[in-house]
A and B are shown apart, each in its own frame.
Chain A
Amino acid sequence: MAARITRAAFLLFPKGRITQMFDYTFQWKQALNRLPQMLDGAMVTMEIAILSMGLGILLAILLTVMRLSGSRPLMAFATTWVEIARNTPALFQIYMAHFGVASFGIHFSPFVSLLIGITFNNAGYLTENFRGALKAIPDTQGRAGRSLGLTQLQAFRHIIMPQMLRISFLPMTNQMVWAILMTSLGVTVGMNSDLYGVTQDLNALTFRTFELFALAGVIFYLITKAITFGGRLIAARLFRY
């Protein structure tokens, strides 16, 4: 039977050389021993995601105002930002924030580069979410505000924006999940204190690649589930009518 499987595997992977199959002992204990270090990394991951999300929301609101402003240069700026953020890989954006700006003599630490890259990406995607949310708000609301004597900006600030944020709350939790997943890209610019970076360093020490990264995966999974679930709870609590 085993010989037959081996032969089948040879047929499937003609270039492959099968030394031993399933000759691997999992050593989960080694990975579990490092759990405290990895949880510290998870905290850094959360920190970056939360910071980038907060900054991203502020920037996205700013970009949305620019888009609505009617001034051509401002609209062009916002559109360029959104299209670059949405049409290039997040990894590219982080590279840009690290190696790209180094050409101008600006050297950010990996933490800052990662934060800038993810914030840039978040702001772009969130602006697009906000645009979808704005479509769901009737024009008449803004106009009613204007007729009551609010300025354009006041009408946006007090009437449109709260509804916009409410409608795009669930897409925002999705973006938060993306932000968590994107922090793993920090390792490419030398970040070694986030969950992925810590795991990679531990891997260099112990070579239990599968166990360590599986554990990291489980932590990432739990974090994202907590965010999705927490988001739903908050939404159910805040947005009852």
Chain B
Amino acid sequence: MFDTALSANDLVFLAKGAGITILVTAISVVIGTLLGILFGVIRVQLGPVLAAPLTFFLDIFRSVPLLIQLVLGNAFVGMVLQLQISGFTVACIVLSLYTSAYCAEIVRGGIDAVPEITRRAARSLGLTWGQDMRYIVLPLATRVALPSWIGLALGVMKDSALVYVVQVTELLKSTQILITRLQEPLFLLLICGAFYFIISFPLARFGGYLEKRWSND
């Protein structure tokens, strides 16, 4: 009833693509989050005026299509600097910066959500800035920031579908390659979509659950 030319080898090929998708996402989210925390804290510490250059720099990553960022990153590294770096590395660097721009915003929101008076109380009790950050701000800000951060990580996974433009064969690109060969677009796209959905949906639900659970205490 349902014939397909899809072979076991093709499935392995798709699984490899999925592996690349997850790898790119994992690397970018980890580096991007670390950078994002750094940028977010710097922005809060410096205040809006002094941090304006940083804000502007990060804003670029949120206002220019990721596709253009990737092409520009690739052209800059390849044509201007004339370094021979793999597309994978370029993809990770660009996606990390992209993630950090959004993450900085989330971190800033999280820190802003901690009442000023709570932090002053901590400082009055003799906590250093570091201790205040570690024991007061971190736990309180995490509650606000974590659900959005999960959303961000999933967003980056979905956006990683664009790294095909720097010659990285991730899931969607491998699907497209198979489509060209097998001419069964609907079936292959459904497999590909199901993969994204299966990873994204439970985590998104978990984020929604955390948000609901942590919002009213």
Number of A residues whose C-beta is below 8 Å from B?
A: 47
Partner of A90, one of B64, B158, B179: B158
A130 at the interface (CB under 8 A from B): no
Nearest-CB residue, chain B, relative to A182: B65
- A6-30 CB mask vs B (1 if < 8 Å, else 0) is 0001000101111111111000000
Instruction: Find A24's partner among B68, B79, B158 (CB 8 Å cutoff).
Output: B79
Query: How many angstroms between the C-alpha atoms of A83 and B187 in the bound complex?
Result: 20
Complex alpha-carbon distance, A225 and B60, angstroms? 10
Q: Does A71 contact B (CB under 8 A)?
A: no
Binds A, one of B47-55, B106-114, B195-203: B195-203
- Report the nearest B residue to A224, measured CB to CB: B63
Q: A89-B172, A209-B79, A210-B80 are in contact. Are A13 and B68 (CB under 8 A)?
A: no
- Closest-CB distance, B187 to chain A (whole angstroms): 8
B82 touches A15 (CB 8 A): no
In the complex, A224→B60 CA distance in Å?
Answer: 10
| A87 contacts chain B at the CB level, 8 A cutoff | yes
User: Is A196 in the interface zone, CB < 8 Å from B?
Assistant: yes
B196 touches A18 (CB 8 A): no
Which residues of the other chain, B, contact A187 by a CB distance below 8 angstroms?
A: 67
Interface residues of A in 170-195 (CB under 8 A from B): 177, 181-185, 187
- A-contact 0/1 string along B178-191, CB 8 Å cutoff: 01000011110110
Chain A residues contacting B172 (CB-CB under 8 Å) are 89, 91-92, 95
Known: A89-B159, A92-B172. A184 touches B204 (CB 8 A): no
Q: Which residues from B are CB-within-8-Å of A18?
A: 82-84
Main secondary structure of the interface of B (DSSP, over half): helix
Q: Is B81 an interface residue (CB 8 A)?
A: yes
A92-B193, A95-B189, A100-B189 are known contacts. Are A221 and B200 too (CB-CB below 8 A)? no
- Which residues 61-106 of A have a CB within 8 angstroms of B? 83-84, 86-92, 95-96, 99-104
In the bound complex, do residue B161 and residue A92 qualify as a contact, i.e. CB atoms below 8 Å apart? yes
**Max chain A CB contacts within 10 Å: which of B75, B79, B81, B184?**
B75
Partner of A210 from the list B75, B189, B201 (CB cut-off 8 Å) is B75
Given A13-B85, A16-B85, A96-B193, 15 extra CB contacts under 8 A: A22-B80, A83-B197, A84-B197, A87-B197, A89-B159, A90-B158, A91-B162, A92-B196, A184-B65, A185-B162, A210-B75, A213-B68, A213-B75, A217-B69, A220-B63
In the complex, how many angstroms separate the beta carbon of B172 from the nearest chain A beta carbon? 6
- List the B side residues contacting A15 at CB < 8 Å: 84, 86
Is the CB–CB distance between A217 and B82 below 8 Å? Answer: no
B206 is an interface residue with CB less than 8 A from chain A: no
Q: Which of B84-119 contact A (CB under 8 A)?
A: 84-86
Question: Are A22 and B81 in contact, with the CB atoms below 8 A?
Answer: yes
The 3 closest A-B pairs by CB, nearest first: A184-B65, A103-B186, A87-B200
Q: Is A144 an interface residue (CB 8 A)?
A: no
For residue A216, CB closer than 8 A to chain B, the reply is yes
By the criterion CB–CB under 8 Å, are A86 and B204 in contact?
yes
**Nearest residue, chain A, Cβ from B71:** A213
List residues of chain B with CB under 8 Å of any chain A CB: 60, 63-69, 71-72, 75-76, 79-86, 154, 158-159, 161-162, 172, 176, 179, 184-187, 189-190, 192-193, 196-197, 200-201, 204
Q: B67 near A184 (CB under 8 angstroms)? A: yes
B64 touches A220 (CB 8 A): yes
User: Is A214 close to B, CB under 8 A?
Assistant: yes
- Within the assembled complex, what's the spacing in Å between the Cα atoms of A83 and B202? 11
State whether A89 touches B161 (Cβ < 8 A).
yes
Q: Would B189 and A16 count as touching, CB distance under 8 A? A: no
User: In the docked arrangement, what's the CA distance between A24 and B77, Å?
Assistant: 11
Contacts of A24 in B (CB 8 A): 79-82
Question: Which of B84, B158, B159 lies in contact with A17, CB distance below 8 A?
Answer: B84
Shortest Cβ gap from B125 to chain A (Å): 37
A83 touches B71 (CB 8 A): no
In the bound assembly, the distance between CA atoms of A90 and B190 in angstroms comes to 14
Chain B, Cβ-Cβ closest to A25? B80
With A21-B82, A84-B197, A102-B185: A210-B158 Cβ-Cβ less than 8 Å: no
Q: A91 — which chain B residues lie within 8 A by C-beta?
A: 161-162, 172
Specify the chain A residue showing the minimal Cβ separation from B186. Answer: A103
